[in-house]
Amino acid sequence: MPPICGEMAIKEGYMMPFILFISCMAIIGFSIYLTRKGVIKPKIRRLPAIDAIDEAVGRATELGRPVHYTVGLGSVSNVQVIAGLSILSYVARKCAEYDTRLIVTFSVPNVQPVVMDLVKEAYMAAGKPENFKPEDIRWLSGRQFSFATGVMGIIMREKVAANLLLGYFAAESLIFAEAGFRAGAIQIAGTTNSYQIPFFVTTCDYTLISEELIIAGAYISQIPEQVGTIFGQDLIRLITVALIVIGSILYAVGFKDFYLWLNM
Protein backbone atom coordinates (compact mmCIF):
# COMPACT_ATOMS: atom_id res chain seq x y z
CA MET A 1 0.00 0.00 0.00
CA PRO A 2 1.31 3.50 -0.78
CA PRO A 3 2.06 5.58 2.36
CA ILE A 4 -0.57 8.17 3.42
CA CYS A 5 1.85 10.37 5.33
CA GLY A 6 5.53 9.67 6.18
CA GLU A 7 5.81 5.94 7.02
CA MET A 8 2.05 5.69 7.63
CA ALA A 9 0.16 3.35 5.26
CA ILE A 10 -3.01 1.28 5.25
CA LYS A 11 -2.14 -2.31 6.18
CA GLU A 12 -2.04 -4.83 3.35
CA GLY A 13 -5.57 -6.22 2.77
CA TYR A 14 -7.17 -3.62 5.04
CA MET A 15 -8.19 -1.02 2.46
CA MET A 16 -11.81 -2.22 2.24
CA PRO A 17 -12.21 -2.59 6.06
CA PHE A 18 -10.82 0.98 6.33
CA ILE A 19 -13.39 2.30 3.83
CA LEU A 20 -16.19 0.31 5.52
CA PHE A 21 -15.18 1.58 8.99
CA ILE A 22 -15.31 5.21 7.87
CA SER A 23 -18.58 4.60 5.94
CA CYS A 24 -20.27 2.88 8.89
CA MET A 25 -19.32 5.71 11.25
CA ALA A 26 -20.58 8.29 8.74
CA ILE A 27 -23.90 6.49 8.13
CA ILE A 28 -24.60 6.00 11.85
CA GLY A 29 -23.59 9.61 12.59
CA PHE A 30 -25.87 10.87 9.80
CA SER A 31 -28.76 8.72 11.09
CA ILE A 32 -28.37 10.23 14.56
CA TYR A 33 -28.37 13.72 13.02
CA LEU A 34 -31.54 13.01 11.00
CA THR A 35 -33.29 11.51 14.04
CA ARG A 36 -32.33 14.46 16.23
CA LYS A 37 -33.64 16.91 13.62
CA GLY A 38 -36.88 14.91 13.43
CA VAL A 39 -36.44 14.16 9.70
CA ILE A 40 -36.82 10.44 10.40
CA LYS A 41 -38.75 8.82 13.24
CA PRO A 42 -37.63 5.20 13.31
CA LYS A 43 -39.56 2.62 15.32
CA ILE A 44 -38.10 -0.56 16.74
CA ARG A 45 -40.14 -3.74 16.49
CA ARG A 46 -41.23 -5.22 19.80
CA LEU A 47 -38.73 -7.37 21.65
CA PRO A 48 -40.84 -9.78 23.76
CA ALA A 49 -37.80 -10.77 25.84
CA ILE A 50 -37.28 -7.20 27.03
CA ASP A 51 -40.99 -6.64 27.56
CA ALA A 52 -40.98 -9.77 29.72
CA ILE A 53 -38.43 -8.32 32.17
CA ASP A 54 -41.20 -6.47 34.03
CA GLU A 55 -43.20 -9.68 34.20
CA ALA A 56 -40.16 -11.58 35.52
CA VAL A 57 -39.39 -9.03 38.24
CA GLY A 58 -43.10 -8.81 39.11
CA ARG A 59 -43.30 -12.58 39.48
CA ALA A 60 -40.23 -12.60 41.73
CA THR A 61 -41.84 -9.88 43.86
CA GLU A 62 -45.10 -11.82 44.19
CA LEU A 63 -43.27 -15.00 45.18
CA GLY A 64 -40.91 -13.15 47.52
CA ARG A 65 -37.92 -14.78 45.84
CA PRO A 66 -34.81 -13.14 44.33
CA VAL A 67 -33.94 -12.26 40.75
CA HIS A 68 -30.64 -13.65 39.47
CA TYR A 69 -28.76 -11.76 36.76
CA THR A 70 -25.49 -12.79 35.16
CA VAL A 71 -23.40 -11.26 32.39
CA GLY A 72 -21.43 -14.48 32.05
CA LEU A 73 -17.78 -14.97 31.32
CA GLY A 74 -16.82 -11.77 29.54
CA SER A 75 -14.83 -8.83 30.82
CA VAL A 76 -16.12 -5.26 30.84
CA SER A 77 -14.58 -4.70 27.40
CA ASN A 78 -16.73 -7.42 25.81
CA VAL A 79 -19.56 -6.02 23.68
CA GLN A 80 -22.07 -8.57 25.01
CA VAL A 81 -21.20 -7.72 28.60
CA ILE A 82 -21.58 -4.00 27.84
CA ALA A 83 -25.03 -4.74 26.39
CA GLY A 84 -25.84 -6.89 29.43
CA LEU A 85 -24.85 -4.05 31.74
CA SER A 86 -27.26 -1.68 29.97
CA ILE A 87 -30.13 -4.08 30.63
CA LEU A 88 -28.90 -4.65 34.20
CA SER A 89 -29.36 -0.96 34.89
CA TYR A 90 -33.07 -1.28 34.02
CA VAL A 91 -33.52 -4.55 35.92
CA ALA A 92 -31.83 -3.10 39.03
CA ARG A 93 -34.13 -0.07 38.92
CA LYS A 94 -37.21 -2.33 38.70
CA CYS A 95 -35.97 -4.54 41.54
CA ALA A 96 -35.28 -1.47 43.67
CA GLU A 97 -38.77 -0.08 43.01
CA TYR A 98 -40.47 -3.39 43.89
CA ASP A 99 -38.18 -4.17 46.87
CA THR A 100 -37.06 -7.38 45.20
CA ARG A 101 -33.68 -8.88 45.97
CA LEU A 102 -31.29 -8.86 43.01
CA ILE A 103 -28.27 -11.17 42.87
CA VAL A 104 -25.70 -10.37 40.18
CA THR A 105 -22.92 -12.80 39.27
CA PHE A 106 -19.97 -12.58 36.87
CA SER A 107 -16.68 -14.27 36.18
CA VAL A 108 -14.21 -11.48 35.40
CA PRO A 109 -13.20 -9.23 38.32
CA ASN A 110 -13.09 -6.00 36.28
CA VAL A 111 -16.89 -6.22 35.93
CA GLN A 112 -17.32 -5.84 39.70
CA PRO A 113 -16.79 -2.08 40.16
CA VAL A 114 -19.04 -1.31 37.18
CA VAL A 115 -21.85 -3.58 38.38
CA MET A 116 -21.49 -2.26 41.92
CA ASP A 117 -21.89 1.35 40.72
CA LEU A 118 -24.72 0.50 38.36
CA VAL A 119 -26.85 -1.32 40.93
CA LYS A 120 -26.07 1.21 43.66
CA GLU A 121 -27.14 4.06 41.37
CA ALA A 122 -30.36 2.24 40.49
CA TYR A 123 -31.25 1.87 44.19
CA MET A 124 -30.42 5.54 44.79
CA ALA A 125 -32.54 6.60 41.81
CA ALA A 126 -35.43 4.57 43.22
CA GLY A 127 -34.99 6.39 46.54
CA LYS A 128 -34.00 3.25 48.43
CA PRO A 129 -30.20 3.32 48.85
CA GLU A 130 -30.49 1.45 52.18
CA ASN A 131 -31.78 -1.65 50.31
CA PHE A 132 -28.59 -1.97 48.26
CA LYS A 133 -26.60 -5.02 49.40
CA PRO A 134 -22.99 -5.14 48.12
CA GLU A 135 -22.79 -8.83 49.10
CA ASP A 136 -25.37 -9.65 46.41
CA ILE A 137 -22.92 -8.48 43.73
CA ARG A 138 -20.83 -11.62 43.49
CA TRP A 139 -17.64 -12.49 41.70
CA LEU A 140 -17.49 -16.27 41.92
CA SER A 141 -14.45 -17.47 40.01
CA GLY A 142 -12.35 -16.69 36.97
CA ARG A 143 -12.47 -20.35 35.94
CA GLN A 144 -15.34 -21.24 33.64
CA PHE A 145 -16.71 -24.33 35.38
CA SER A 146 -15.99 -23.13 38.90
CA PHE A 147 -18.06 -20.07 37.98
CA ALA A 148 -20.75 -22.33 36.50
CA THR A 149 -20.87 -24.38 39.71
CA GLY A 150 -21.21 -21.22 41.79
CA VAL A 151 -24.04 -19.85 39.66
CA MET A 152 -25.83 -23.21 39.62
CA GLY A 153 -25.56 -23.34 43.42
CA ILE A 154 -26.98 -19.82 43.84
CA ILE A 155 -29.91 -20.54 41.50
CA MET A 156 -30.83 -23.73 43.35
CA ARG A 157 -30.15 -22.58 46.94
CA GLU A 158 -31.81 -19.18 46.64
CA LYS A 159 -34.68 -20.63 44.55
CA VAL A 160 -34.60 -17.64 42.22
CA ALA A 161 -37.92 -16.71 40.62
CA ALA A 162 -36.32 -15.02 37.61
CA ASN A 163 -33.09 -16.04 35.93
CA LEU A 164 -31.68 -13.45 33.52
CA LEU A 165 -28.71 -14.61 31.43
CA LEU A 166 -27.66 -11.67 29.30
CA GLY A 167 -24.05 -11.38 28.22
CA TYR A 168 -21.18 -13.56 27.05
CA PHE A 169 -21.64 -17.30 27.49
CA ALA A 170 -19.81 -20.42 26.37
CA ALA A 171 -20.30 -24.09 27.32
CA GLU A 172 -21.74 -23.18 30.74
CA SER A 173 -24.86 -21.61 29.19
CA LEU A 174 -26.88 -24.83 29.36
CA ILE A 175 -25.80 -25.44 32.96
CA PHE A 176 -27.26 -22.06 33.98
CA ALA A 177 -30.43 -22.47 31.93
CA GLU A 178 -31.12 -26.01 33.14
CA ALA A 179 -30.51 -24.97 36.75
CA GLY A 180 -33.02 -22.12 36.27
CA PHE A 181 -35.51 -24.51 34.66
CA ARG A 182 -35.23 -26.90 37.61
CA ALA A 183 -35.68 -24.01 40.07
CA GLY A 184 -38.90 -23.10 38.24
CA ALA A 185 -37.63 -19.63 37.32
CA ILE A 186 -38.88 -17.52 34.46
CA GLN A 187 -35.84 -17.33 32.18
CA ILE A 188 -34.70 -14.60 29.80
CA ALA A 189 -31.43 -15.15 27.98
CA GLY A 190 -29.42 -13.41 25.30
CA THR A 191 -26.07 -13.83 23.60
CA THR A 192 -24.44 -13.35 20.20
CA ASN A 193 -22.57 -16.66 20.46
CA SER A 194 -24.20 -18.75 17.72
CA TYR A 195 -23.18 -22.02 19.43
CA GLN A 196 -25.05 -21.17 22.64
CA ILE A 197 -28.20 -19.62 21.13
CA PRO A 198 -29.85 -23.06 20.47
CA PHE A 199 -29.36 -24.02 24.13
CA PHE A 200 -31.03 -20.83 25.29
CA VAL A 201 -33.88 -21.16 22.78
CA THR A 202 -34.67 -24.68 23.98
CA THR A 203 -34.45 -24.03 27.72
CA CYS A 204 -35.47 -20.39 28.29
CA ASP A 205 -38.84 -18.67 28.10
CA TYR A 206 -37.48 -15.74 26.07
CA THR A 207 -34.28 -15.36 24.10
CA LEU A 208 -32.52 -12.32 22.67
CA ILE A 209 -30.72 -13.50 19.56
CA SER A 210 -27.52 -11.80 18.44
CA GLU A 211 -28.08 -8.06 17.75
CA GLU A 212 -31.28 -8.04 19.83
CA LEU A 213 -29.09 -8.25 22.91
CA ILE A 214 -26.83 -5.41 21.77
CA ILE A 215 -29.66 -3.03 20.87
CA ALA A 216 -31.65 -3.82 24.02
CA GLY A 217 -30.21 -0.78 25.85
CA ALA A 218 -31.46 1.53 23.08
CA TYR A 219 -34.82 -0.28 23.02
CA ILE A 220 -35.29 0.24 26.75
CA SER A 221 -34.25 3.89 26.70
CA GLN A 222 -36.34 4.82 23.59
CA ILE A 223 -34.15 7.95 23.26
CA PRO A 224 -34.51 9.11 19.60
CA GLU A 225 -30.73 9.42 19.05
CA GLN A 226 -30.19 5.87 20.36
CA VAL A 227 -32.94 4.55 18.11
CA GLY A 228 -31.32 6.52 15.27
CA THR A 229 -28.16 4.40 15.59
CA ILE A 230 -30.28 1.29 15.04
CA PHE A 231 -31.74 2.89 11.91
CA GLY A 232 -28.16 3.52 10.69
CA GLN A 233 -27.22 -0.05 11.51
CA ASP A 234 -30.16 -1.36 9.45
CA LEU A 235 -29.14 0.91 6.57
CA ILE A 236 -25.61 -0.56 6.63
CA ARG A 237 -27.13 -4.04 6.71
CA LEU A 238 -29.16 -3.30 3.57
CA ILE A 239 -26.04 -2.00 1.79
CA THR A 240 -24.08 -5.08 2.93
CA VAL A 241 -26.78 -7.48 1.69
CA ALA A 242 -26.92 -5.58 -1.64
CA LEU A 243 -23.12 -5.88 -1.99
CA ILE A 244 -23.29 -9.63 -1.20
CA VAL A 245 -26.05 -10.22 -3.79
CA ILE A 246 -24.34 -8.11 -6.49
CA GLY A 247 -20.97 -9.75 -5.73
CA SER A 248 -22.46 -13.26 -5.90
CA ILE A 249 -24.19 -12.58 -9.24
CA LEU A 250 -21.11 -10.95 -10.80
CA TYR A 251 -18.84 -13.76 -9.55
CA ALA A 252 -21.26 -16.36 -10.92
CA VAL A 253 -21.21 -14.79 -14.39
CA GLY A 254 -17.41 -14.68 -14.38
CA PHE A 255 -16.78 -11.03 -13.51
CA LYS A 256 -14.30 -11.39 -10.63
CA ASP A 257 -13.03 -7.81 -10.40
CA PHE A 258 -15.83 -6.80 -8.02
CA TYR A 259 -14.93 -9.70 -5.68
CA LEU A 260 -11.25 -8.72 -5.79
CA TRP A 261 -12.16 -5.09 -5.12
CA LEU A 262 -14.16 -6.14 -2.01
CA ASN A 263 -11.13 -8.10 -0.77
CA MET A 264 -8.71 -5.24 -1.35
Name residues contacting other proteins, limited to 151-180 (CB under 8 A): 171, 174-175, 177-178
Nearer to other proteins, 100 or 199 (CB): 199
Site for other proteins, residues 6 to 65, rule: CB under 8 A: 6-12, 14, 17-18, 21, 24-25, 28-29, 32
Nearer to other proteins, 67 or 208 (CB): 208
Helix (H, G, I), strand (E, B) or coil at 47: coil
Angle at 34 between CA 31 and CA 37, to 5 degrees: 150
Q: Are 218 and 229 in contact (CB under 8 A)?
A: yes
Whole-angstrom CA distances from 207 to 24, 166, 196, 198 are 28, 9, 11, 10
Report d(CA 201, CA 190) in Å as an integer: 9
Work out how close the CB of 59 gets to other proteins at its nearest, in angstroms, rounded to a whole number.
21
87-126 mask for other proteins (x: CB under 8 A)?
A: xxxx--x--------------xxxxxxxxxxx--xx--x-
Work out how close the CB of 129 gets to other proteins at its nearest, in angstroms, rounded to a whole number.
14
Of the ranges 45-53, 160-168, 226-234, 249-257, which one interacts with other proteins (CB under 8 A)? 226-234
Q: Are 151 and 118 in contact (CB under 8 A)?
A: no
Among 211, 247, 258, 262, binds other proteins (CB under 8 A): 211
Sequence-ordered list of residues with C-beta below 8 angstroms from that of 203, at least 6 positions apart, any chain? 174, 177, 178, 180, 181, 187, 189
Among 75, 170, 251, 258, binds other proteins (CB under 8 A): 75
Among 86, 105, 163, 187, binds other proteins (CB under 8 A): 86
Number of residues that bind other proteins (CB under 8 A): 89
Whole-angstrom CA distances from 63 to 71, 161, 194 are 24, 7, 34
Among 55, 233, 250, 262, binds other proteins (CB under 8 A): 233
Helix (H, G, I), strand (E, B) or coil at 87: helix
Q: Are 142 and 108 in contact (CB under 8 A)?
A: yes
Report d(CA 128, CA 100) in Å as an integer: 12
Site for other proteins, residues 134 to 153, rule: CB under 8 A: 134-135, 137-139, 142-146, 148-149
Q: Determine if 226 is a binding residue for other proteins (CB under 8 A).
A: yes
Nearer to other proteins, 14 or 255 (CB): 14
Nearer to other proteins, 8 or 257 (CB): 8
